[in-house]
């Protein structure tokens, strides 16, 4: 019985949820008390529907596309549950913690309210957490702690090429990621592509590929990136797919850490990896719209060659043909495999 109790404890969500209250206002306006506040891991989460009116904004949830859209003076800002950034036009505002559904409502963390939204909209916001247990600065979330670790290249001198690759098919389990109008889920697309990539590495190169998940289940942040710190991992690919309110948005986008852009040699190894992936995708007839520099948390710090690949838009019918069918998923896997192989060969020549 005691053992059963412990098993049940382990099955509880790792992040416990508790309630509290906060005060919020546009600077100069009287504060409004929001009392449906949940605390996860020391961070307050607020219902985005309650936050926006206090700041003179409005938003709407598209349950088909799984996108929350905020009407702002600068246009529509969009985000999805589980997404790492808020998008406004071509600009990406990285989020400390992804928005998520808690108790039936889409909730954003307090950093969203006091940092990200004001930064994006040039707003000044008054915010006070009234819960004495979290009155002090919120503890860094486990995600922040995890990514404050450096993802370092750990290659000993004399070792050439790639020794192993880590692939992270994003989301999984209760978190579907983005969704297409026909119910196509990001979590399923990225898993299929990751498995196709792994198969090719095993067949052709005999190289170990570590997937963060090999089926449809959710992962803690620590589990998700456990493989990255294996010393033989010489590259990390994070696979995502996105959705937009506009049907016309399409194409893949590759993201690398911004600090590597400033490397004197023209962008560092992540840029070299992204360039090879872009070339291979283009050669396979797959549209790549850009290589972006974005301080996305999953990219971590450091210099491990890392590229976050947004494979395409689940909301676009052309992209959906590629993303939603196994032939298209195989094409994506083949192109990414060729890109990684070209990167491995390039590394062999340089080192």
Decide: is 177 part of the binding site for Zn ion (CB under 5 A).
yes
Tokens of 147: 């990514």
Could you identify the residue written with the tokens 């719209």?
Answer: 289
Rank residues 44 and 179 by Cβ distance to Zn ion and give the closer one.
Answer: 179
The dihedral region occupied by 56, where left means phi > 0, alpha psi between -120 and 50, and beta the remainder, is left
169 closest CA partner among 135, 200, 143, 196: 196
Sole window of 56-64, 111-119, 237-245, 343-351 interacting with Zn ion (rule: CB under 5 A): 237-245
Smallest gap from Cβ 236 to Zn ion, in A, equals: 15
Rank residues 240 and 341 by Cβ distance to Zn ion and give the closer one.
Answer: 240
Sole window of 3-11, 93-101, 108-116, 236-244 interacting with Zn ion (rule: CB under 5 A): 236-244
Sole window of 69-77, 172-180, 287-295, 326-334 interacting with Zn ion (rule: CB under 5 A): 172-180
Chain centroid to Cα 111, Å, comes to 17
- Let me know: does 166 contact 227? Beta carbons within 8 Å: yes
- Binder to Zn ion among 170, 228, 239, 335 (CB under 5 A)? 170
Rank residues 223 and 283 by Cβ distance to Zn ion and give the closer one.
Answer: 223
Tokens of 121: 């909209």
CA–CA separation, 213 vs 80, rounded Å? 21
Rank residues 272 and 314 by Cβ distance to Zn ion and give the closer one.
Answer: 314
Give the x/- contact pattern for Zn ion in 100-139, rule: CB under 5 A. ----------------------------------------
Residues from 38 through 67 that contact Zn ion (CB under 5 A): none
Smallest gap from Cβ 161 to Zn ion, in A, equals: 29
CA–CA separation, 335 vs 332, rounded Å? 5
Sole window of 57-65, 105-113, 141-149, 240-248 interacting with Zn ion (rule: CB under 5 A): 240-248
CA–CA separation, 71 vs 74, rounded Å? 8
Smallest gap from Cβ 21 to Zn ion, in A, equals: 32
CA–CA separation, 142 vs 288, rounded Å? 33
Rank residues 163 and 185 by Cβ distance to Zn ion and give the closer one.
Answer: 185
Decide: is 240 part of the binding site for Zn ion (CB under 5 A).
yes
Bridge partners (DSSP) listed for residue 122: none
Decide: is 172 part of the binding site for Zn ion (CB under 5 A).
no
Smallest gap from Cβ 11 to Zn ion, in A, equals: 25
Smallest gap from Cβ 44 to Zn ion, in A, equals: 24
Smallest gap from Cβ 100 to Zn ion, in A, equals: 13
Exposed e or buried b per residue across 16-40, where buried means at least 16 C-beta atoms within 10 angstroms of its C-beta: eeeebebbbbbeeeeebebebbbbb
Smallest gap from Cβ 294 to Zn ion, in A, equals: 13
Chain centroid to Cα 61, Å, comes to 20
CA–CA separation, 267 vs 254, rounded Å? 14
Smallest gap from Cβ 172 to Zn ion, in A, equals: 10
Q: Which residues contact 280 (CB under 8 A, 6 or more apart)?
A: 335, 336, 338, 339, 342
Return the residue nearest Zn ion (CB atom).
240
Rank residues 314 and 344 by Cβ distance to Zn ion and give the closer one.
Answer: 314
Query: Where do contacts with Zn ion occur on this chain (CB under 5 A)?
Result: 170, 177, 240
């Amino acid at each position: 019985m005691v053992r059963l109790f412990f098993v049940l404890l382990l099955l509880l969500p790792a992040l416990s949820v508790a309630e509290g209250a906060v005060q919020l206002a546009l600077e100069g306006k009287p504060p409004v008390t929001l009392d449906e506040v949940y605390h996860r891991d020391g961070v307050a989460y607020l219902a985005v529907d309650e936050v926006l009116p206090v700041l003179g904004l409005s938003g709407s949830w598209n349950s088909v596309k799984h996108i929350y859209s905020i009407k702002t003076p600068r246009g529509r800002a969009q985000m999805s549950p589980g997404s790492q950034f808020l998008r406004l036009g071509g600009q990406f505002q990285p989020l400390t913690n992804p928005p998520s559904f808690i108790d039936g409502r889409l909730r954003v963390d307090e950093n969203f309210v006091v940092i990200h939204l004001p930064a994006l909209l040039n707003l000044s916001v008054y915010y006070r957490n009234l819960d004495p247990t979290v009155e002090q600065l919120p503890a860094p979330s486990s995600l922040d702690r995890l990514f404050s670790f450096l993802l370092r290249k750990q290659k000993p001198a004399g070792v050439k090429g790639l020794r192993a690759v880590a692939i992270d098919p994003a989301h999984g389990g209760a978190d579907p990621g983005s969704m297409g109008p026909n119910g196509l889920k990001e979590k399923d697309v990225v898993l299929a592509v990751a498995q196709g990539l792994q198969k090719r590495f095993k067949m052709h190169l005999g190289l170990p590929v570590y997937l963060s998940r090999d089926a449809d289940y959710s992962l803690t942040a620590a589990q998700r990136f456990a493989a990255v710190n294996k010393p033989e991992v010489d590259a990390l690919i994070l696979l995502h797919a996105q959705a937009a309110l506009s049907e016309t948005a399409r194409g893949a986008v590759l993201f690398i850490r911004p600090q590597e852009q400033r490397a004197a040699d023209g962008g560092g190894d992540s840029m070299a990896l992204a360039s090879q992936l872009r070339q291979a995708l283009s050669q396979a007839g797959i549209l790549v719209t850009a290589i972006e520099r974005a301080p996305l948390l999953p990219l971590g710090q450091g210099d491990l060659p890392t590229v976050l690949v947004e494979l395409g838009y689940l909301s676009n019918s052309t992209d959906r043909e590629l993303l939603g069918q196994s032939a298209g998923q195989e094409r994506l896997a083949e192109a990414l495999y060729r890109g990684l192989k070209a990167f491995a060969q390039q590394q062999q020549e340089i080192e």
